[in-house]
Amino acid sequence: MDAIPDTCLSIYRSMFEYSRTLVWKLTGWPGSPILLLGSDPNILTDHIIPHLKVEDVLSLRMTNKAFYLITYEPIIWKRFLERIHAPVVQLRPTLKFNDPVHGCEIEPIVMRAIAMENAWRTGHTKLKKEEMLMANFKVVDLKLLPGGNFLVASVKDRANFRFYIHLYALDVVSGSRLLARYPVPHKAFDIQAKYMDHQGKPGIMISFSTRKFTHGVPYNLQNDLANFSSRCRFDSVHPLTYYSYVIHMHLNPVEILIHPDMDIKRRKVEYVQITQALPRPFINVARFESQDEEIYCPSLFLNSDGVPFHAYAIGPDKIRIINLRTYQTLLLNFRDNEDFHGLVCYLFLPFILWTLTYFQPHRIRAFRYLPRQHGLLLARTVTEIPGSDKAFVIEIYNLDRHAVGNHQISADKSWCCPIPWELSLEVVIADPEMYTKREGSDHPDLRPEEKSCPTLWIFARSRKPMGIVYWWVRPTSHPDRYDDVDAVSHFHWNERRHEMMLPGSARNLLVEMENEILEATPLNTLRRFHWPRFKPQFRNDNLHEPIYNRQKETHFAFTDIPSHGLAADVNGEGGLATITWDELSGKICLASDKTDQIRVYDFVPLIEPRRRLAYGWRKNRIPPTLS
């Protein structure tokens, strides 16, 4: 072994002496002990820890009791949250950022953001936590709210007599639980849920669709309509009537039920009394009906002014947009793409030349509202022969902010993507949440690494060959306008099984299954999808120094997620019935066909703050505020 130079040895000795002196000054060892909590802890929280990274703070926490307590101070993690660059979960509107009681929720938000970012970049993802929620009904559809704090479920009894919308609270004191339910006349599907205000009150806006036979149940139908998947089509002899509902739940009463001091195991009687004294949880906002054409692709969104809207596609070429404050309606009819406007055929007869024009049917497959540019991103297929799609068209439309009534519009930009594959009817577009948007008045202004609009991914399922086709849409010339589409169709081929994508902006989840989901299908595996080729084009100015050690990004777009027998458990219970996930929190919720339970999985399991030893030591310093 080579000898270490004397210069290096002197440097090592000086660094060691400096570190030892610093530890002695902080801890009082050796010599007379100094209890930092008894003196002024602001020296550490204000002048030392802000210069450390999160990993250093966690290491400092494991040294002694004094550092253990100080590193749980909410002010430390609030400052980390204000400086973080990684995507964080969306804060619920009623979270009081400056309330000492809610201060313990800030550290899990920072830790979850860092853990999810590093796991997704490196591909070392793993499901580490499993929780069961009792639904007591067959689960039809699931939707996680942004941030993963609440779960909305559509359920029905096995006899098809009762149908409900359930709302669950996740990661609360005394365990995740059902908060409220809303009865519906028919089986609900296509659930959408967002944080939105209604009548000046912050809450959760939920939309869902139902359907029924227009002229009553056919006498020769051997099964109930509620047993069919929403993707099943019926002939014109038995037409259906479609409904779209919008309901709202005020969040302030919910905060009382999920308050950290509300331990329902010890205060069960009081909890029941409080719930009985609260007003009815849900308010009917709107209901829409269509007797002639199918309602599909529902969407809830906020415009740039914060006004809530509900939109859905109706028929092959129309979209209805409803202002949920004024209830003004805008019906958009989209003209055919110029590249596929029609085919002209010339027919020669004796002494007559006939000109016939054959129009190629266009059908809306998916759409997404673009809040910064007040426009629509539309994905349509063009059919030349019935039963087969010739091309996939991606279009961007600019909308008039004050338009109401019926309008026929043309695309401002369009891209044609030839598809040599046989696509499924299911096309999805990512609906990324603007986690930098301030939901509460005291919430911090977050500053991500890139200030442009998030990347929008478009995924389409392919039947022959089996796999996933995908495209991306990004801003290139201006940070607030989408103007670049990858017209080259990327294809992920699967030799044996079908695939379905749960889209996000930076993180996407691929589900590999034996068949297309109708009511249930055997589950094979879950895969992480991360596109490593994008680099920030519009970086934010005056970014803070990184607060954590960012892991190196892998070059593999698809990696398997170890699930520890998840597929075997789900398949043993009848197969996968429905699944949802939230890309920022890392939560996955799914339900199987033959059980009345909801499985909740988490990529980043965190200990509930009230169960930590530090909370017990500091409990007397946090006065109760429950009223």
Q: Given pLDDT bands bounded at 50, 70 and 90, which one contains residue 476?
A: confident
Which of 92-96, 208-212, 323-327, 585-589 bottoms out in mean pLDDT, i.e. has the lowest?
92-96
Q: Which residues contact 530 (CB under 8 A, 6 or more apart)?
A: 120, 121, 123, 506, 507, 508, 553, 554, 557
Number of H helices, E strands in the chain: 10, 32
Closest CA to 563 of 127, 116, 119, 120: 127
- In three-state secondary structure terms, 616 is helix
Query: What's the mean pLDDT in 40-68?
Result: 82
Token pair in block for residue 7: 């210069």
**pLDDT reported for residue 140:** 94
Which is more confident, 256 or 338? 256
Q: Which residues contact 52 (CB under 8 A, 6 or more apart)?
A: 60
**pLDDT reported for residue 494:** 86
Query: What's the mean pLDDT in 326-351?
Result: 70
Please tell me the distance from the alpha carbon of residue 455 to that of residue 438, in angstroms, as a whole number.
Answer: 20
Q: Given pLDDT bands bounded at 50, 70 and 90, which one contains residue 46?
A: confident
Interval 198-243: pLDDT, tens:
999 999 999 999 999 888 887 777 778 888 777 776 666 778 899 9
Query: What's the mean pLDDT in 252-264?
Result: 85
Query: What's the mean pLDDT in 482-502?
Result: 84
Please tell me the distance from the alpha carbon of residue 561 to that of residue 542, in angstroms, as a whole number.
Answer: 36
**pLDDT reported for residue 211:** 92
Query: What's the mean pLDDT in 237-256?
Result: 91
> What class has domain 138-351+424-594?
mainly beta
Token pair in block for residue 292: 């002639």
- CA dihedral 444→192→332→390, nearest 10 degrees, is 110
Q: Which residues contact 79 (CB under 8 A, 6 or more apart)?
A: 50
Interval 409-426: pLDDT, tens:
999 998 888 777 777 778
Interval 3-39: pLDDT, tens:
444 554 454 455 445 444 545 544 444 433 344 445 5
Query: What's the mean pLDDT in 92-121?
Result: 86
Interval 493-519: pLDDT, tens:
888 888 889 988 788 999 998 877 667
Token pair in block for residue 603: 């990529």
**pLDDT reported for residue 19:** 47
Indicate the domain borders of the chain: 6-121+611-620, 138-351+424-594
Please tell me the distance from the alpha carbon of residue 397 to that of residue 373, in angstroms, as a whole number.
Answer: 10
Token pair in block for residue 542: 């005056």
Please give the DSSP secondary-structure letter assigned to residue 190: E
User: 538: which strand partners?
Assistant: none
Interval 577-606: pLDDT, tens:
999 999 989 999 999 999 999 999 998 877
Distances (CA, A) of 534 to 162, 386, 450: 48, 38, 11
Interval 554-568: pLDDT, tens:
878 888 998 778 999
**pLDDT reported for residue 241:** 92
CA–CA–CA angle 486, 579, 303 (5° rounding): 55
Asked if residue 372 has pLDDT above 70, the reply is: yes
**pLDDT reported for residue 360:** 57
**pLDDT reported for residue 347:** 45
Q: Given pLDDT bands bounded at 50, 70 and 90, which one contains residue 306?
A: confident
